[in-house]
């Protein structure tokens, strides 16, 4: 199979990156960072999460961020929503694209959402219906789709079941997440073989962390299956506070270089990305240290 001509990059540093930073990032800097990423041309930017501020204090300013950013026409500004309360908060500040995040294992679901998979999906059925009525575009995440930091390897069927349920609720896209970055190219091929009969490739995204430097090999495999949406984080920021050992996301800069070498279009201005990252890093000393060290140190 030949590689597609164009891919969609979902830039997740403002959410997956900044949620995991021990250094506080002032709201104004987050807004300036997102605005700079908009200017760089990303079609999708995951901006923040409307979750409990006790769970993720780094993103407690979600309303302010979403009120202040400049929305560029044609860019999708995605926000994470864990429950009805989160949806209400997001809608109040004009969000029109949400991400519901479920896990492939009960152990991770309990750690991240304090609820089982079944409880979470029951809640999301309702939240998705409400979000659709409000005109939202919806992404459904399957966290730990390959490997769980608490319960070990995840059978593809287990991740596929959750993906199918999210898809049945009306999710426009399903993002399969290698939350701790342990997936191999064979794992990616196995999961895609298992999921593609029920979810078309155009509706899938891959969310990769780069723990063992395999994220780009995993992108290559997914491209060969026709998947064209990939998450990446500027500066290789990223990690989940509830996934011990989760280091940075696939770095946007590395993904851009990989795609350019292969002549695959992405629509993002690489220099603008560099400028956005340099400005943020200069303003927040120590940013990214945790991602480079290998994630969260307490769990």
Site for ligand COA in 80-139 (CB under 6 A): 82-83, 85-86, 89, 101, 112-114
Closest CA to 1 of 228, 226, 262, 219: 226
Residue-wise DSSP of 156-221: HHHHHHHHHHHHHTT-SEEEEEETTS---HHHHHHHHHHHTTTS-GGGEEEEEB-TTS-HHHHHHH
Site string for ligand COA, 239-268 (x = CB under 6 A): -x-x--------------------------
Q: Which residues contact 171 (CB under 8 A, 6 or more apart)?
A: 100, 128, 138, 139, 140
Number of residues that bind ligand COA (CB under 6 A): 21
For Zn ion, the closer CB: 16 or 61: 16
Closest CA to 143 of 94, 98, 110, 189: 110
Task: Provide the annotated active-site residues.
Answer: 240
Q: Shortest approach of ligand COA to residue 232 CB, angstroms?
A: 16
For ligand COA, the closer CB: 41 or 86: 86
Site string for ligand COA, 22-51 (x = CB under 6 A): ---------------------------xxx
Site residues for Zn ion per CB under 5 A = 16
Site residues for ligand COA per CB under 6 A = 19, 49-56, 82-83, 85-86, 89, 101, 112-114, 143, 240, 242
């Amino acid at each position: 199979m030949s590689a597609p001509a164009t891919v969609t990059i979902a830039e997740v540093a403002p959410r997956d990156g900044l949620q995991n930073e021990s250094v506080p990032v002032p709201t104004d800097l987050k807004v300036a960072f997102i605005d700079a990423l908009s200017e760089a041309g990303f079609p999708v930017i995951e901006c923040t999460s409307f979750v409990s501020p006790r769970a993720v204090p780094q993103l407690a300013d979600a309303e302010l961020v979403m009120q202040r950013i400049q929305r560029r026409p044609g860019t999708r500004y995605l926000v994470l929503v864990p429950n009805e309360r989160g949806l209400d908060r997001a809608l109040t500040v004009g969000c029109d694209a949400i991400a519901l995040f479920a896990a492939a294992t009960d152990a991770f679901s309990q750690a991240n959402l304090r609820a089982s998979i079944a409880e979470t999906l029951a809640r999301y059925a309702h939240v998705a219906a409400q979000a659709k009525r409000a005109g939202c575009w919806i992404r459904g995440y399957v966290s730990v789709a390959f490997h769980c930091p608490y319960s070990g390897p995840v059978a593809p069927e287990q991740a596929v079941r959750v993906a199918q349920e999210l898809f049945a609720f009306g999710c426009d896209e399903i993002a399969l997440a290698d939350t701790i970055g342990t997936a191999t190219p064979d794992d990616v091929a196995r999961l895609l073989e298992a999921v593609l009969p029920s979810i078309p490739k155009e509706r899938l995204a891959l969310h990769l962390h780069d723990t063992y430097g395999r994220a780009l090999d995993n992108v290559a495999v997914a491209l060969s299956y026709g998947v064209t949406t990939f998450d990446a984080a500027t500066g290789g920021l990223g990690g989940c506070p509830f996934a011990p050992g989760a280091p940075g996301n696939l770095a946007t800069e590395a993904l851009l270089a990989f795609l350019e070498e292969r002549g695959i279009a992405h629509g993002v201005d690489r220099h603008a990305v560099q400028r956005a990252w340099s400005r943020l890093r200069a303003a927040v000393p120590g940013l990214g240290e945790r991602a480079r060290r290998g994630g969260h140190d307490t769990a």
